[in-house]
Amino acid sequence: PVMISILAAVFLKEKITWKNVLSIVVSLIGVYIILGNGSMQINPLGILLSAGSVVLWSAASVSIRKISGYYDPMQIALYGMCIALLFNIPAAVLENIFMTQSHPTAVALLACLFVAVFGTAVAHTCWNKSLQMLNASTCSMFYPLQPLVSAVLGVVLLHEVITWQFVVGAILICSGIVVTFLPTKK
């Protein structure tokens, strides 16, 4: 949310309001409480790749917002997936040859199909539609829900246990999102 809001302010002339800042801070505190500080082992390459991913996804979101008036959200998702496929297939082949020999199973292929349909096609189409309807910085306020939804799915599908940190973090994340939509006094 931070990077999308900054890029949206620079390239789309969206205003960063006190509500945006408060929402981001409260939600990120909630995310930190849910995820914790981990083992504190820092891998510089991992941090660099994560930071690069954040910047690239934020730039893509701002770009999608900019073109959303000209293209249908499903078209944008389709074009994006086709272009990504052109880059991912050669990379996957090279990785399979030089790094890790994969042995696909039926379960793995079904999982990939699920991710392709729901985690990519449907999710990107919904994201693109939301960018067509809302400011990019407003859409970005929903990002902190990802660790919350992941934790809920962990409880439901993997029988993980809900902790007090999860409950406090969930309340903060939801509160941060609600702050974004509070009416502004004129």
Distance of CA 71 to the CA centre of its chain: 22
Q: How many residues does the chain have?
A: 186
DSSP state of 39: T
Residue 16, judged by CB atoms within 10 A of its CB (0-12, 13-18, 19+), counts as middle
| CA 110/CA 173 separation, integer angstroms | 32
Cβ neighbours of residue 72 closer than 8 Å, sequence gap 6 or more: none
**What is the C-alpha separation between 129 and 65, in angstroms, rounded?**
9
Contact at 8 Å (CB) between 114 and 157?
Answer: no
Q: What is the pLDDT of residue 41?
A: 65
H-assigned helices in 99-143: 106-114, 123-133, 136-140
Q: How does DSSP classify residue 161?
A: P
Between the CA of residue 183 and those of 24, 47, 137, 144, what are the distances in Å? 17, 37, 16, 21
pLDDT of residue 64: 93
Digitized pLDDT (tens) for each residue of the chain, 186 residues in all: 888 988 999 999 998 888 888 988 988 888 788 777 655 566 788 878 888 998 999 999 999 999 998 999 999 999 999 999 999 999 989 988 888 877 889 999 999 999 999 999 999 999 999 999 999 988 988 888 887 888 889 889 999 888 888 889 889 988 988 888 887 776
140 within 8 A of 4, measured Cβ to Cβ:
yes
Between helix 123-133 and helix 73-98 the angle, nearest 10°, is 140
Q: What is the pLDDT of residue 37?
A: 60
Q: Which two tokens stand for residue 157?
A: 């599908």
